[in-house]
Structure 1
Amino acid sequence: MRAAVLGSPIEHSLSPFLHRAAYAAMGLDGWRYDAFEVGEDRLPAFLAALDGPWAGLSLTMPLKRAVLPLLDSVSELAVEVGGANTVIFRDGGAHGDNTDVYGIEQALAEAGVPAPRSALVLGGGATAASALAALRNLGLGEATLAVREPARAGETLAVAERLGVALRVERLDKLDALLDVDLVVSTLPGRAADEHAVRLARVPALFDVVYSPWPTAAALAVRQAGGTVVGGFAMLLHQAVRQVELMTGRTGVPVEAMRAAGEAELSRRSAPAG
C-alpha cells in the first residue's frame, strides 16, 4: 500500500519520517510513504495518473485549497476551513479531510493550555483558517486576526463566517494594542514573528506554528517571561497521527515512535556540518 506527501517545496518535509515510523511500529511492512514535488499546476495530472494500491496523500503548501475541486467528496470541516491537507482513497473515490485542526487542538492540550477566553491569530493563510476552526471547537465565538494587509483577508473572513466565529481584522503593525488576550497563535512563516518578540513576551501563551529552526525568538521571549509556548512540531506530529489513522483504518497509532523519529530528524538537520 502506498501513501505520500505532496507540495512545493517538499524536500524538507518531516512527514515521511513520521509516517514511516508509524508503519514500522505498527508492523505494516508492505506500506511505503514517499514525497513528491507537486505544485498547483501539476496537481490534477498527478492525481489522474495514480494507479495501484494507494491509501492516501498528505498535502502541504500550496495544495490544500487547490485540491478541493478535484475530489469526489470533502468533509464538512475541510469545507468550513476551505482546505484539505489529507486525501483518502476509498470506495473508488478520493475524499478530502483536514487533520490540521486536530493537530492544533492536540498540541494545545498536550502543553496544558486551557481553552482561551480570547485569542489573536497572526497571519491569514490556510493554517490561520485551521487555527480559527480549532479555537471554535474549543468554545471561542470570536477572535482577532492581525495581517499585514487587511484588504487581502477576505478568504479568512469567509472561513470565519462559515465557522460561526466573529472575526475582527486588524493591521499587524498595530500589534501592541491587540495583545490583551489569553492566547496568540502565530501562523506567520519562517521567523517572521521574531520581529515582534519583545511585544509578544507579555502574552500568557503563544502557539508558534514554526518548527524549524526552533525555538524562535518569539517563543524564547514568551518562555523567558514565564508564559506557555507551543511549537509547530506538536501540531505536525498530531495531524500526522490522525492521517495515519485515516489512511490505515487503524487506531492505536504509535505517537511516541513518531515523535522520536521526527525529533531525531530535526536534531540531525540542526547539527553542525562536518
Structure 2
Amino acid sequence: MFTLTIPVSTDGLSAIKADLTRKLPDVKSSHRCEAIARGLGFRTYATALAAVQAGATSTAQVRGDLFVAYLAEHAFAVSPAAFYHAAAKVALRDVWERTPKLTMWGIGSGGPRRKEDGRWEDFRDMNARFKEARSELLGDGAVKPFLASLAFLGRVTPTKTIRKGTGSYWVKHIAENFACSYPEGEKLGPTYVANGVLIAAALQAGFKMKTYVDNLGYDELNVSFNMSKPCLEELDCEVRPDGARAQDRRHREAMKRNRHYPFGSATF
C-alpha cells in the first residue's frame, strides 16, 4: 500500500480531469469533477478551484476510496486505480520538472553509443535519445511502477546522510519484486520498475540522492540515496528469498552453526 500526496494547481486539476475523461468516458463530466474534488479532500470541485486560486492549499493526499464512493452514489462503479494513475502523473511531472536530468532510465542517458550503421552518435543523436527517454517518464508505462515503488519505499528507513551501497539499480530490483496493493486492496505489484521511475518515486517520497559522472564526464544513470543499507538488505532477503543476498545470508548462518557445533546438530 502507498500514500500519494500531490501538488495541487489548476494545471494539475485539469490534467487529472483530462486523463479521467480518457479512462472513464462513460462517467458524466460533472460527476468526474466532483469525484476528483472528493478524492483530493475538497467538498466540491468549485471549492478546490477556489482554494488553489487563492493559494490556500499546495498539496493534497489522494484518496481513491472517496473518489469511488462519490461515483458509487451516482450509480457509477469504477476502480480507484484510474484516479490514482491520473494523480500519479501529476506527481511524476512535478518530480520531472524539478529534476531536469531525470529520464526513464536514470540520470541522463549515458555516453555516446554506436548506431546501426557503425558510426558513433553525435551530440544531436544523444540529445534526441535523452529527450525521448525523458518523455517516457511522463507516459502511462511509468505510472504503475511509480506507485509500486512508493509502496515499497514506505518500508525503507531514511538516514541523515547519503550512504554507500544504496544504489538505485539495486533498490529498483527489490522494488519490482515487492508484492503490494492499492490502498483499497487491488493488486499493484510485483511489476517491472525502470531505474528512473524508482528514482522519481524516491524523490517524491522525500529521499535525497547523490549523482555521479563517469571518467569521460557523462552522467551515470544510477544514484545513491539516504537509505539505511541494513534495512534494504533485510527487505531484499524478504522480497527475494531466493536471491543472491538471501542465499549468502543462509550460507553464513549455516557456517556459524557448523562452527559452533562441528559434529552436527545442537539438538540432543
With structure 1 as the length reference, what TM-score do the two structures score?
A: 0.26
With structure 2 as the length reference, what TM-score do the two structures score?
A: 0.27
- Answer 1 or 2: which has greater strand percent: 1
| Greater C-alpha radius of gyration | 2
